Chain A
Amino acid sequence: MSKIHVSTSINGDAVEYLCEPEETLLDALRNHVGLTGVKEGCGSGDCGACSVELDGRLVCSCLVLAAEAEGKTVSTVEGMADGEKLHVLQQKILDHAALQCGICTPGILVAAKALLEKNPDPSETEVRYWLAGNLCRCTGYDKIIRAVMDAAAEMRGA
Chain B
Amino acid sequence: MVTEYVEGSAGTEFNKRDFKVVGTRPPRPDGIDKVTGRALFGADLTAPGMLHATILRSPHAHARIVSIDTSAALAMAGVKAIVTSEDFVKQKGSGNQDTLDNCMARGKVFYDGHAVAAVAAISVKVANAALKLIKVEYDVLPHETDVDAAMLDSAPVLHEGRKFRNIPEGNNANVSGFWEFGHGDVEEGFSKADVIVERSFKTAATHQGYIEPHATLATMGPDGRGEIWVCTQGHYMVRDMAAAFVGMETSQLRVTASEIGGGFGGKTTVYLEPVALALSKKSGRPVKMVMTREEVFRASGPTTSSSTDVKIGMTKDGRITAGQAKLRYQGGAYPNITAMLGAMTAFASYDLDAVQTQAWNVLTNRPKQAAYRAPGAPMAIYTVESVVDELCQKLDLDPIEVRLLNAAKKGTLSSYGPTFDEIGLVATLEAAKAHPHYAAPLGPNQGRGVSCGFWFNFAGNTSVSMSINEDGTVSVIEGNPDIGGSRASISMMAAEELGIPFDKIRTIIGDTNSIGFNDVTDGSRVTFSVGLATIKAARAAIKNMCGRAAQVWGIDADAVDWIDGAAVPTGHNAGDFSPMTLAEIASDQAKTGGPIAGHHEVNADGAGVSFGVHLVDVEVDPETGFTEIKRYTVFQDAGKAIHPDYVEGQMQGGAVQGIGWALNEEYIYGEDGKLQNAGFLDYRIPVASDLPMIDAVILEIPNPGHPYGVRGVGETGIVPPLAAVANGVSHAAGVRMTELPMSPPRILAAIDGAK
Contact = CB atoms under 8 A, between A and B. Distances in A.
Contact of B646 (A37, A90, A100, A103): A100
A128 B686 CA distance: 12
A123 to B, nearest CB: 12
Contact of A95 (B27, B37, B211, B681): B27
A92 B686 CA distance: 23
Contact of B688 (A47, A96, A128): A128
Interface string B17-55: 000000001011011101111111101100000000000
Nearest to A49: B211
Given A128-B689, A140-B694, A141-B691, A101 B260 contact: yes
B649 A137 contact: no
A136 B262 CA distance: 9
A134 to B, nearest CB: 7
Given A43-B292, A43-B293, A103-B41, A137 B653 contact: yes
Interface in B263-280: 263-264
Given A44-B679, A138-B484, A141-B688, A94 B32 contact: yes
A104 B36 contact: no
Contacts of B213: 40-41
B691 A101 contact: no
A149 to B, nearest CB: 11
B261 A101 contact: yes
A74 interface: no
Contacts of A133: 687
A137 B665 CA distance: 13
Interface residues of A, number: 56
Q: Chain B contact residues: over half helix, strand or loop, or mixed?
A: loop
B612 to A, nearest CB: 14
Contact of A101 (B38, B40, B483): B483
Nearest to A84: B32
A105 B262 CA distance: 12
B652 A142 contact: yes
A86 B293 CA distance: 32
B657 interface: yes
Given A46-B680, A99-B31, A132-B689, A41 B212 contact: yes
A32 B262 CA distance: 26
Interface stretch (A2-10, A65-73, A75-83): A75-83
Contacts of B212: 39, 41, 101, 103
Given A101-B261, A127-B688, A140-B653, A77 B483 contact: no
Contacts of A36: 37, 40-41, 43-44
Interface string B253-265: 0000001111110
Contacts of B690: 132
Contact of A100 (B32, B485, B655, B689): B485
B649 A132 contact: no
A40 B691 contact: no
B656 interface: yes
A131 B657 CA distance: 17
Interface in B129-145: none
Contacts of B679: 42, 44, 46
B81 interface: no
A150 to B, nearest CB: 13
B498 to A, nearest CB: 24
B35 A44 contact: no
A139 B40 contact: no
Given A35-B37, A105-B34, A145-B688, A137 B693 contact: no
A104 B125 CA distance: 26
B210 interface: yes
Contact of A136 (B211, B643, B655): B211
Contacts of A132: 687-690
B685 interface: yes
A153 interface: no
A28 B262 CA distance: 25
A106 B643 CA distance: 23
Interface in A22-54: 30, 35-44, 46-47, 49
B645 interface: yes
A62 to B, nearest CB: 10
B653 A93 contact: no
Interface in B186-237: 208-213
Contact of A41 (B211, B681, B696): B211
Given A93-B35, A102-B30, A131 B688 contact: yes
B681 A142 contact: no
B562 to A, nearest CB: 31
A37 B37 contact: yes
A132 to B, nearest CB: 4
Interface in B668-721: 679-681, 685-691, 693-694, 696
12 contacts: A36-B44, A41-B212, A42-B680, A94-B27, A97-B648, A99-B35, A102-B35, A128-B688, A137-B685, A141-B686, A145-B688, A145-B693
Interface of B: 25, 27-28, 30-32, 34-41, 43-44, 125, 208-213, 259-264, 290, 292-293, 483-485, 643, 645-646, 648-649, 652-657, 679-681, 685-691, 693-694, 696
Q: Which 5 A-B pairs have the closest CB atoms?
A: A37-B37, A103-B261, A102-B34, A97-B645, A140-B656
